[in-house]
Amino acid sequence: MYTTELKERPLFVSESPSRTNLIEVNEKGEPFFFGPSSIRIRFGHQHIDRTIYNDGKKLNGSNASVQWKDDYTAVVTLYGEEQEPETIELTLD
């Protein structure tokens, strides 16, 4: 159960322009057959969970990107084969 639902595997890590903040995108667990993958985005002392629909395939770094607006604001984009890109704007403390 730990491996299929809870274990986190890093996909993407990005530092802010002056290396003040860090955003990590991790795959949480493993997809079941052709089901979606769970993602956890960690930033500061917070995290948010999302889902990527990628036809049951294992995720990699190309399924996420981070664009920093400044050291405290970033836009995370999640990509999957069976979904439109999802963008999430994060404000870090």
Contacts of 84 (CB under 8 A, 6+ apart): none
Domain count, the chain: 1
8-27: pLDDT as tens digits: 999 999 999 999 999 999 99
State the pTM of this model. Answer: 0.87
Q: Which domain holds residue 52?
A: 2-91
Q: Is residue 72 over pLDDT 90?
A: yes
Q: Cβ distance 49 to 40 under 8 Å?
A: yes
17-31 burial, b if ≥16 CB within 10 A, otherwise e? eeeebebbbbbbbbb
Q: What is the DSSP letter of 62?
A: G
